[in-house]
A and B are shown apart, each in its own frame.
Chain A
Amino acid sequence: MANLTIRYDGKKFMWDKKVYATDPEAEQKEKSYLKDDFEVVKLEEEGKYLLYTRRIVTEIVLEEGGQPL
């Protein structure tokens, strides 16, 4: 089981929960993440590929009902 979280360049990235069998397969997915403005880190682990993403939320909207006590 891959790590759910990694830190890269001081930043936290989250696993997309899929193990990619080949590099082209991972690369193709990576491109789609990048298109959506996610930062992506690709790791190779025992010949398989893992993708980790992150995107800063600039507009924070809290759930309705306010902060719980």
Chain B
Amino acid sequence: MKGSVLVVGAGPAGIRATSELVEQGFKVFLVEEKPTIGGKMAQLDKMYPSNECSTCTILPRMLELTSNPDNIKILAFSEVTDIEGTAGDFKVKVTKKPRYVDPMKCTACTDCFPVCPVGGVPMEFNFGRSVSKAITFYSPFPPRKAIIIPDKCDYLVKGKCGDKEQPPCVIACTPDAIDFDQKPQEVELNVGAVILAMGMDEKTAEASESYGYGQVPNVLMSIEYERLLSGLGPTGGVVKRDDGKEPQSVAWIVIDGSSPDAILTAIAEALGTVERNPDISASILYADLNLTKNSYKEFYQMGKDSPIQFIQSECTSVSEGKDGNVSISYTKDGKEDNQLDVEMTVLVAPMAPTSSAQNLMEKIGFTLDETGLVQKKKGDSHPLRTLRDGIFICGSFQEAKGIDDAIVQSCAAAANAAALLESERNTEITPPPKKEHLPVTSVDEPSVAVVICRCGKNIEGLLDIDELAQYTQSLPHVKHVELTPFGCDGVKVKELLQSKEYNRLVLGGCSPRTHEPLFQLHTELGGLNPYLLEVVNLRNHCTWVHSKDPKIATDKAKTLMRMGVNRSNLLEPLDPIHVPVTSSCLVVGGTPSGIACALKLAEMSFQVHLVEREKSLDEVKGNNSPYMKALIEELHRSENVKVYSNTRIAGVAGFIGNYLANLVNSSPKEEIEIGSLVIATNANMRADSSEKDYEKDLILTRDENNSFIGMLGILNPLDFNTDGVFKCGSARGEMGILESIIDGEGAASRVAGIISKKELIKAPTVSVVVDECCDGCAYCIEPCPAQALTLIEYMRHDGSVKKTVDSNEAICRGCGICMATCPKKGIYVNHFRPEFFNTMIQSVREAE
């Protein structure tokens, strides 16, 4: 039995399955056929139903993986060619394709790009809508290493490039990374389980035959249009036709047979289009809606409330119109030959497995049905299990679906792999190296290193970056300023800090909201305490909001850098908080998802308490099918699950890793210690007053439809805002039995990521009471959303009684509301002292 897992496909599902498994103590080999990770999600502009920026959402998750190379081996530009063996012990063959650049040596400096004489090479990532040199980055995403396009490279095609003995790229490459001798390399891996998350491609055959794709100009597939909408795309987010014209009318055709979610893709793209140009005419032609989830219905309504025109119809033909326009014929309400002439048409097509996925399926003995879905074992309806034990599928590869559903499935697939390999947990994981930080005290004179990220065109495309660097160099205590193509790869940060010459780091780049944890990690790897880093948001706060005025943007960038540098001078090193963990879980609700969650955690050897208000689990809605009855029997047989029927929860206290729940109506009354909770109650069950108590205890909130409000973000479908508390199944919304099972198993993975650890490490950005200033006025107590503050009295020897506040650092979320309410400077949040803000404000005024 092995303690490692192979994940095939590095789209959102593969990335999430990887991070879930590593959190739970399993090493992962992540194989991706493309040279960079991120899958289709990296090519999208925005996602339904949250309308979040796709790149901003997925990029930090990608970088999280690349920052843990000991435990996550990413094999990009590689293909799995065979999987032999059985559950617990698979032998996997992987072919690494030659990129002609040694990724271990390449520093992404880009010095080889300008010297390459071969230009005009169509970029696959942008579907040929942009061009590059023959040596290039495949995409803006990690692993950011150069790659040579072999059939375009003069040296590889003709055996000669330039007039010197060596090709210009070799001469320009200081780290000596170019390697023209690379050949396909076969690697053999030994893993305990396999997760296939290879995604799907849009089927272009029907689009080509019936809808003019590839024949009629300005007819695009949906994923191509996404690249035009993307700020990192070939047109910088401005939709343009091949003739350079910005279309004033765009139509989306949802091709019949597409998944029900296809129309949501069309709506997301149409919304993105009208957001950029409210005068544009946007139309969506579709046959059926068939939306079941409330969030999807709401997103559709958002589209209906916008200027988008929805045409329920059957599209009959697409032909070339005048001036490069597209002429669409459709039948509506039985009336044929309706015409719509638009300047651009986007096709949203059914999905099919990629050709490499089909090849692999054939090699490992799996068959795909006529719709491209993986054949199941007879009698096994579990959506993620396959013909071979230990090989699981998830994400779009299982069936076309939205990203939120793909995330739930990837968590569930991780839970299944973890349950299988439970005995090998932590056997192949390399613990993080002991952190040795440069000793820094408050009396040391600040010595600031500044790294300014060009961030592709995002920052460098607008700012006068050299002027900014020169100005920054003149700021107090700044000892060095360095420009880097992409600071998020950490190369420059680590290089500078390892010199031990600097005790502060200021990074001018993208938003700390998305990237600060990553930059902190790089700072720590460079040997500096991560709280001595200051991130200056030159992108979202500057170049994005002043994108039409380089002068104003450059001036503002100087101000932002001045604020950041001056604040950095005050920063103090901080140590993380260690919180012990109780390795058991409370599942609330004996619903199908609650039962599935409890069973999966029990399989992982965790103790589970399952609480149900009904007298028996059989009485719970959804539990009367033979499938569920078998699971209930299994649950009762499990030594790791204790079922409390006819029981409710009177209250819950504590914090992540350390909750205490009071159960009533159980016999005898019980108080249980748990590390995490899962809410799996029925959606239609309005919480009575007693249950609302525990919801209040856990700060769980509901919307006007009585649905739970979870954590924001498409990547957090199972999470509440309260750390260590999760939701699944009907507590998330109406869903079928199999979907509920997957939800429950997904929640089990989230829980296992916590309770499989002996202790949790929490950021030290928590509130600190200044006892000399706090007089116990209590203004901060009630506003604290985490209920982390307690008003206490204490007695002086002379009999006087004083008051002050006790802050529980394990619960505190560091939101700073307490600091804002305190009239006496009696409480602040670590890393955000009031004087830091004063300094930043003063820095703005310096320019006035």
Contact = CB atoms under 8 A, between A and B. Distances in A.
Contacts of B808: 10
B806 interface: yes
Contacts of B791: 56-57, 60
B121 interface: no
B771 interface: yes
Contacts of A63: 777
Given A60-B778, A67-B779, A16 B793 contact: no
Interface stretch (B6-14, B76-84, B563-571, B794-802): B794-802
A33 to B, nearest CB: 6
B214 interface: no
A38 B803 contact: no
Contacts of B777: 62-63
Contact of A17 (B769, B778, B796): B796
Nearest to B772: A4
B823 interface: yes
A11 B806 contact: yes
Contact of A38 (B771, B795, B807): B795
Given A4-B771, A14-B804, A17-B797, A56 B779 contact: no
Nearest to A18: B797
A5 interface: yes
Interface residues of A, number: 27
A17 B797 CA distance: 7
A53 B794 contact: yes
Interface in B760-784: 769, 771-772, 776-779, 781-782
Nearest to B822: A68
Contacts of A29: 797
Nearest to A12: B806
29 contacts: A10-B810, A12-B804, A13-B794, A14-B792, A14-B802, A16-B795, A17-B796, A17-B797, A38-B794, A38-B795, A51-B797, A53-B794, A53-B795, A54-B794, A55-B793, A55-B794, A56-B790, A56-B791, A56-B793, A57-B776, A57-B792, A57-B793, A57-B803, A60-B781, A60-B782, A62-B779, A63-B777, A68-B779, A68-B823
A46 interface: no
A5 B771 contact: yes
Contacts of A45: none
A60 B783 CA distance: 13
Contacts of A51: 797
Contacts of A14: 771, 792, 794, 802, 804
A60 B792 CA distance: 10
A46 B663 CA distance: 47
Contacts of B795: 16, 33, 36, 38, 53, 55
B412 to A, nearest CB: 35
B821 interface: yes
A18 B790 CA distance: 25
Given A38-B795, A54-B793, A57-B792, 10 more contacts: A10-B808, A11-B806, A14-B804, A18-B796, A54-B792, A55-B794, A55-B795, A57-B793, A60-B791, A68-B779
B781 A54 contact: no
Given A4-B771, A63-B777, A68-B823, A56 B797 contact: no
A11 B791 CA distance: 12
Closest 4 CB pairs of A and B: A14-B794, A18-B797, A12-B806, A57-B791
Contacts of A56: 790-793
B488 to A, nearest CB: 37
A53 B800 CA distance: 12
Most buried by A among B791, B794, B810, B823: B794
Contact of A54 (B778, B797, B806): B806
Interface in A29-69: 29, 33, 36, 38, 51-57, 60-63, 67-68
A11 B776 CA distance: 16
Contact of B797 (A13, A16, A61): A16
A53 to B, nearest CB: 5
B21 to A, nearest CB: 32
B503 to A, nearest CB: 28
Nearest to A63: B777
Contacts of A38: 793-795
A17 B796 CA distance: 6
Contacts of A60: 778, 781-782, 791
Nearest to B780: A67
Nearest to A14: B794
A53 B795 CA distance: 6
Contacts of B797: 16-18, 29, 51
Nearest to B804: A14
Contacts of A61: 778
A55 B803 CA distance: 9
B778 A62 contact: yes
Contacts of B806: 11-12, 54
Contacts of A18: 796-797
A38 B769 CA distance: 20
A35 to B, nearest CB: 11
A19 B791 CA distance: 25
B792 A55 contact: yes
